[in-house]
Amino acid sequence: MLKIYGRANSINVRKVLWTVEEIGLPYTREDWGRGYRPTSDPEFLKLNPFAVVPVIDDDGFILRESHAISRYLATKHGRTDLYPTDPKTRAQVEAWMDWGQTDLYRGVRAPFLGLVAKLPAFQDQKLIEEGITDWTDQMQRLDAHLSEHGPYLMGDSFTLADVPVGLIVNRWFCVPFDKPELKAVSAYYDRLAERPAYRLHGRNGTP
């Protein structure tokens, strides 16, 4: 059976959990990371020397990195609806996933760690405000795309592209700061919430 290593409130672990639920795979999960057993533990480092979650053990196949895991599982289980085989369409899905991990996430870090996790290293108000500005700019870009090309990132079909972005959209609405109205993003958030897997691991009250 598939085993997932990582705490369920980690945004990267949640990407894998959401994907697994969409595919309908049985799995077990073991808590590792902040608030649980440290990833610096030798037992964990044997699985992932980079000391980050998530990691999976799929009948002896060990794999790290949430996006790689999601793509691997969708491919293995023939879910071409989630991860299309056409090279151009697949590349577009991957581009959105990469954007969700890079430009979109860049501004999230300081506001989340400062206002929600309340880590001492992220209490610089200027740093938080710079993050909010950057995050807002990227969310406005997302809103414009969804307005013109939605309802999902790839149009009419839900794909793996929506997983990393959908989790950051959930975080956008959960982190407390003043936000502009983004009608297309709000509609997208509600549409994702129609999916049971998103209600379990996305819009579940956890930022």
User: What pLDDT is attached to residue 144?
Assistant: 98
- Residue 81 included in any domain: no
Q: Which of 26, 44, 76 is the last residue of a domain?
A: 76
Cβ–Cβ contacts within 10 Å for residue 193, how many? 15
- Residue 196 included in any domain: yes
Q: Give residue for tokens 């956890």.
A: 206
User: What pLDDT is attached to residue 173?
Assistant: 98
Domain shared by 105 and 150, yes or no: yes
Q: Which residues of the chain have pLDDT under 50?
A: none
- Residue 206 included in any domain: no
User: What pLDDT is attached to residue 62?
Assistant: 98
Domain count, the chain: 2
- Return the structure tokens found at 165: 């972005």
- Return the structure tokens found at 3: 């085993």
**Which DSSP state fits 150?**
-
CATH number of the domain bearing residue 140: 1.20.1050.10
Non-local CB neighbours of 103 within 8 Å, separated by 6+ positions: 138
Domain shared by 94 and 38, yes or no: no
Domain shared by 7 and 34, yes or no: yes
Contact by Cβ (8 Å): 162, 82: no
User: What pLDDT is attached to residue 133?
Assistant: 98
- Residue 70 included in any domain: yes
Domain shared by 61 and 106, yes or no: no
Residues 121-141: pLDDT tens digits? Answer: 999 999 999 999 999 999 999
User: What pLDDT is attached to residue 20?
Assistant: 98
Domain shared by 180 and 101, yes or no: yes
Amino acid identity of 147? Answer: S
CA nearest neighbour of 98 among 194, 3, 15? 15
Q: Which of 15, 42, 76 is the last residue of a domain?
A: 76
**C-alpha to C-alpha distance for 15 and 78, rounded to whole angstroms:** 18
**Which DSSP state fits 56?**
E
Question: What pairing do the DSSP bridges indicate for beta strands 27-30 and 2-5?
Answer: parallel
Domain shared by 8 and 37, yes or no: yes
Domain span including residue 30: 2-76
Residues 189-200: pLDDT tens digits? Answer: 999 999 999 999
Cα 15 to its chain centre, rounded Å, is 4
- Residue 82 included in any domain: no
Q: Which residues pair with 64 in a beta bridge?
A: 55
Q: Which of 26, 51, 76 is the last residue of a domain?
A: 76
User: What pLDDT is attached to residue 22?
Assistant: 98
CATH number of the domain bearing residue 40: 3.40.30.10
Domain shared by 92 and 169, yes or no: yes
Establish how many alpha carbons lie within 13 A of residue 159's alpha carbon, considering only the half-sphere containing its beta carbon.
25
- Residue 207 included in any domain: no
Domain shared by 93 and 182, yes or no: yes
Q: How far is CA 91 from CA 42, 157, 184, in A?
A: 37, 15, 24
Domain shared by 106 and 183, yes or no: yes
Domain shared by 93 and 186, yes or no: yes
User: What pLDDT is attached to residue 76?
Assistant: 98
User: What pLDDT is attached to residue 40?
Assistant: 98
Domain shared by 57 and 14, yes or no: yes
